[in-house]
Structure 1
Amino acid sequence: MGSRRVLGIDPGLGNLGWGLIDVDGPRITHVANGTCKSSGKDLAVRLLSLFDQLSAVVTAHSPDVAAVEQTFVNKDGAGTLKLGQARGVAMLVPARAGLPVSEYAPNAVKKTVVGVGHADKRQVLHMVRLQLPGIEIDGPDAADALAIAICHAHHGGAQAPGNDTLARAIARADGRAASGVRA
């Protein structure tokens, strides 16, 4: 299959973690990691900030695929909705770049990286450091993003059918827009 670059994304409205690894067969190497940060009260401005920052990451590092953590529902409905909006940005940016986007449940990521589906953030950070020795990790959100990328690598990049549908739809819409055709 050859070498491929995987972008892992841990969605969050205040802190959106990202991590890039290169995968060549069984070998995984760290490329970069970081955190996109937004602040303020204006939701639209915060989402735009995350979009611009993550777009810059995709442009700078040219990943081949992306993997995003699925949103879990918690007791705070408003918080879950805001997280879902940040997750929309996390899926839109790579799809807009034409990348296939896979999704993984938090427990699946933890089970793949730590061996336990209900591991805490410290355990995830520890196992990411073991699998990518000697790297500087930007913070817990970047560690989670690297774990998502590692999960994708261990699952062979398997995608659920149709996960790249959004990317294809955006590419078609961009083509129509460039030619002056309305969608």
Structure 2
Amino acid sequence: MRVLGVDPGLTRCGVGVVEGVAGRPLTMVGVGVVRTPADAELGARLVAIEEGIESWLDEHRPQYVAVERVFSQHNVRTVMGTAQASAVAMLCAARRGLPVALHTPSEVKAAVTGNGRADKAQVGAMVTRLLRLDAPPKPADAADALALAICHIWRAPATNRLQEAHAAARRGRTPRPPARVPATPAAPVSDSTASPARKVTR
């Protein structure tokens, strides 16, 4: 399994490709950052991010794309930029028919370090160890992208089983029953033909 992890951001968008399967040693295929100037017009920055991600998709041919799920923060401006970069990454993947998975920061930290509240230094150290690198990738956005890819590889078996179960349930859904035909009402029984009530003797 080859996964492109994307740590979205307008100024620095981390990208990292990891290959392997759960339970076996993983290999880093590539890591980097797509950068855009902070003083550039928003549309031009989004185009630059798109071109950068497309270049990574062309070069490394991943089978899956894992993107950090955007969550609410106090800095609304930062959240908006992150969400826009995230949407560009998902668009690039969808255009090629690649499955996209979203993972929250806490999910990634828990998967890689065992602690959902780990700091960036801890994530970088574990990524370095897991991928057998000489040093932590710089900047932190690049290490986070690799962590996303690792998280997806490790979580994929359980996720795939869940998706298969849902698909099987949909396929095995019982068909809608045919429309009911109203029953023909029984002919009323006249008093003359009714059986007389029997008297019960004690």
Deviation at 1:25, TM superposition (A): 4.9
Segments of 5+ residues of structure 2 without an aligned counterpart are 164-202
Q: Hey, what's the Cα distance between the residues in 1 that align with 2:77 and 2:139?
A: 25
Aligned match of 1:20 = 17
Aligned match of 2:154 = 154
Aligned match of 1:173 = none
Moved more, 145-154 or 81-90: 81-90
Q: Is the 8 A contact 2:17 2:28 kept in 1?
A: yes
Aligned match of 1:34 = 32
For 1:32-181, list aligned pairs within 5 A.
32-39=30-37, 40-134=39-133, 137-156=137-156, 158=159
Match of 1:116, SS state, is coil
Match of 1:12, SS state, is coil
Amino acid across the alignment from 1:151: C
Q: Is the 8 A contact 2:21 2:153 kept in 1?
A: no
Q: Is the 8 A contact 1:19 1:146 kept in 2?
A: yes
Q: Hey, what's the Cα distance between the residues in 2 that align with 1:33 and 1:63?
A: 13
Amino acid across the alignment from 2:10: L
Query: What is the aligned residue count?
Result: 158
Q: Is the 8 A contact 2:22 2:153 kept in 1?
A: no
1:8 counterpart = 2:33 = no
Query: Deviations for 1:25-76, whole angstroms, at most 9, x for unmatched residues?
Result: 5221111010000113300000100000110000010000011010121112
Match of 1:156, SS state, is helix
Deviation at 1:5, TM superposition (A): 0.7
Q: Hey, what's the Cα distance between the residues in 2 that align with 1:30 and 1:99?
A: 20
Aligned match of 1:176 = none
Higher fraction of strand: 1
Identity in percent? 38
Moved over 6 A (4+): none
Aligned match of 1:179 = none
Larger radius of gyration: 2
Q: Hey, what's the Cα distance between the residues in 2 that align with 1:135 and 1:146?
A: 15
Segments of 5+ residues of structure 1 without an aligned counterpart are 162-183
Moved more, 34-43 or 74-83: 74-83
Moved more, 125-134 or 22-31: 22-31
Q: Is the 8 A contact 2:21 2:154 kept in 1?
A: no
Moved more, 80-89 or 53-62: 80-89
Deviation at 1:139, TM superposition (A): 2.1
Q: Hey, what's the Cα distance between the residues in 2 that align with 1:10 and 1:102?
A: 12
